[in-house]
Amino acid sequence: SANLWDADPELFSLIQKEKKRQEAGLELIASGNFTSLSVLQCLSSCLHNKYSEGLPGERYYGGNEVIDDIERLAQKRALEAFNLNPEEWGVNVQPYSGSPANIAVYTGIVEAHGRIMGLDLPDGGHLTHGFQTPTKKVSASSMFFESMPYKVDPETGLIDYDQLASSAKLFRPKLIIAGISCYSRPLDYERFREICDSVGAYLFADMAHTSGLVAAGIIPSPFEYSDVVTTTCHKSLRGPRSAVIYFKKGVRSTNAKGEAVLYDLEKRINNAVFPALQGGPHNNGIAGIATAFKQVKSVEFVQYQKQVVANAQHMAAKLIDRGYNITTGGTDNHLLLVNLQGTGLSGSKAEKILERVSISCNKNTVPGDKSALNPSGFRLGTPVLTTRGLVEADFDKVVDYIDKGIKLGLEVVKISGPKLVDYIRVLDSEQTIGKKIEALK
C-alpha cells in the first residue's frame, strides 16, 4: 500500500510541521519525553494488526503464539526493571495509558463507591487521584469512587502527612494514593505505609512521573512499602504511550490466630483491566514496553536519569539566582514549579508568552492558590531536553530565554495592563528570543 506522503499529503505535511516544532522549540513539559527509534518501530509494526483479548496462554482469539511470547517478554522485563522478584510481584502490561491503569486499580481493589484518598490536583496530584471541585466531580475517580483529598502545607509546599493521618482516621479509606504530577521532593513511602496500616488501607503508588528515576535508583522506590504500583511508560521512563500495573503477591499479613492472609490482587487487577475496562490489548505498545524496559537496564539510561535531575536542579538554582520563587526552594527530581504570586503575571499568561517564543511548558497551581482555574505558576521539566543532549551549561541559556520571556511579560503588564492580546502584539514584534532558540539546535 502507498506511503503516507502519497496517500495523504495533507496529513503528512501536518506531521512534518509538528516534527519541526518539536525540533525547533524547547520542550519543557515535565510529563513528556522523546522516545527511542526502537520504540517508534514497535509502535508502527505489524503487531498493531493483531487482536488478542485475554492474557498469554488464555486468549479469546487464535493465532496468538507470537503475541504471547512478546507479552511474556514485556512482563519479565517490566519486573526486572525494578529488580522485582516474580514470586512477590506480578505485573499487567495491558493498560492503554496511565488514566485507565489507575481506574483499573480502583475497579479491582476498591468496590464501587468505596473510599480513596489522593493528593489534591491543585496541590500536585493527578486528575485520576479522585479529583473533584466543591461543585463538580471532574474525574471518573471521583464519580465512581468516594474521594477525600489530602493537601500540601501552603507554607512549605510539602505534603502534610499529619493532616493526611488524621483525615484518614475519620474518612477510613480503602486505599491511599502516593503519587504526584507536580511535586519536586521525594515521597515518604514509609510514612504512607504507616498511615495506611493505621486504617487498614491499601497503599497504591502511582509513580508515573518519576518511574525512570526510580528505575535508575536515584530517588526512593515505592516497592518496599506499596501493595500496588502503576506507572505510565512515556514520561521519564521514555517508552511508548501506555502503562503497567504491578501488584503484590504472597502473604499480606497474619490474622489474630497467627495464620497467613494472602494477597488476592492478581485476579482482581487482571480482571479489572480485561474484561471490566478494556478490550484487546495494543500489542504494538506492549512490544514498545518490552524494548523500553530493556533500555532501562543500560548504563546510558542511568546516566540519562542522573542528568535529568542535575539539569532540573541547575535550572532551579539559576532561576532562583534571577529572583524567581521556586516552590519548596528547588527540586530532587525532574520537575520544578515556578511561583509567580505577587508578580502581576499569571501562570496562563506565562505559558502563552513562553509558547510565543517556542518554549513549551504548562501553567500550574501553586500551594495556596485559591482557584485551579487561574493558577499562579508554571511547571518546567527536563526529561525531553536531556534526551536531546542538553547539559547544565545549555540550561543556562534555557533559563536566559525563559527569563527574557517572563520579563517581557512583566513589562507588558506595566505598560498595558493585564490583557493577553497586548502580550501577543508585543511578542509578535519580538523575534530575538526565538532566533536564539533556533541557534540552540
Candidates 22, 38, 97, 360; binder of ligand PLP (CB under 6 A) is 97
261: its cell numbers:
492472609
Q: How far is the CB of 375 from ligand PLP (least distance, A)?
A: 16
- Pick the stretch among 15-23, 38-46, 184-192, 204-212 that binds ligand PLP (CB under 6 A): 204-212
Q: How far is the CB of 232 from ligand PLP (least distance, A)?
A: 5
- Pick the stretch among 91-99, 248-256, 327-335, 358-366 that binds ligand PLP (CB under 6 A): 91-99
Please pick, among 42, 182, 196, 361, the residue that the annotation labels catalytic: 182
Q: Is residue 209 part of the contact set for ligand PLP (CB under 6 A)? A: yes
Which 162-181 positions form the footprint of ligand PLP (CB under 6 A)? 179, 181
Q: Are strands 89-92 and 260-262 parallel, antiparallel or unpaired?
A: unpaired
> Within a 10 A sphere around the Cβ of 22, how many other Cβ atoms?
14
**Distance separating alpha carbons of residues 413 and 344, to the nearest angstrom:** 7
CB closer to ligand PLP out of 115 and 235: 235
- Cell numbers 502580550 label which residue? 423
Which 257-316 positions form the footprint of ligand PLP (CB under 6 A)? none
Q: Is residue 206 part of the contact set for ligand PLP (CB under 6 A)? A: yes
Helix axes 347-356, 420-428, angle to 10 degrees: 20
267: its cell numbers:
485476579
For the chain, the maximum distance between any two Cα atoms, rounded to a whole number of angstroms, is 77
Candidates 126, 185, 282, 349; binder of ligand PLP (CB under 6 A) is 126
CB closer to ligand PLP out of 145 and 423: 145
**Distance separating alpha carbons of residues 93 and 278, to the nearest angstrom:** 12
Size of the site for ligand PLP (CB under 6 A): 13
Give the DSSP letter string of 54-91: EETTEESSS--HHHHHHHHHHHHHHHHHTT--TTTEEE
- Cell numbers 497467627 label which residue? 258
Question: 196 catalytic, yes or no?
Answer: no
Question: 182 catalytic, yes or no?
Answer: yes
Please pick, among 126, 129, 209, 234, the residue that the annotation labels catalytic: 234
Q: Is residue 363 part of the contact set for ligand PLP (CB under 6 A)? A: no
Spell out a b/e string for 119-137, using b for 16 or more CB atoms within 10 Å of the CB, else e.
bbbbbbbbbbbbbbeeeeb
Per-residue string for binding with ligand PLP, 5-44, x by CB under 6 A? --------------------------x-------------
- Nearest by Cα to 404 from 365, 335, 337, 358: 358
**Distance separating alpha carbons of residues 262 and 206, to the nearest angstrom:** 23
Candidates 52, 128, 236, 283; binder of ligand PLP (CB under 6 A) is 128
Phi-psi domain of 209 (left: phi exceeds 0; alpha: psi -120 through 50; beta: other): alpha
Candidates 35, 75, 99, 211; binder of ligand PLP (CB under 6 A) is 99
Q: How far is the CB of 182 from ligand PLP (least distance, A)?
A: 8
**Which residue intervals of 272-346 are DSSP H helices?**
283-296, 299-321
The residues that touch ligand PLP, with contacts defined as CB under 6 A, are 31, 97-99, 102, 126, 128, 179, 181, 206, 208-209, 232
Catalytic site positions: 182, 234
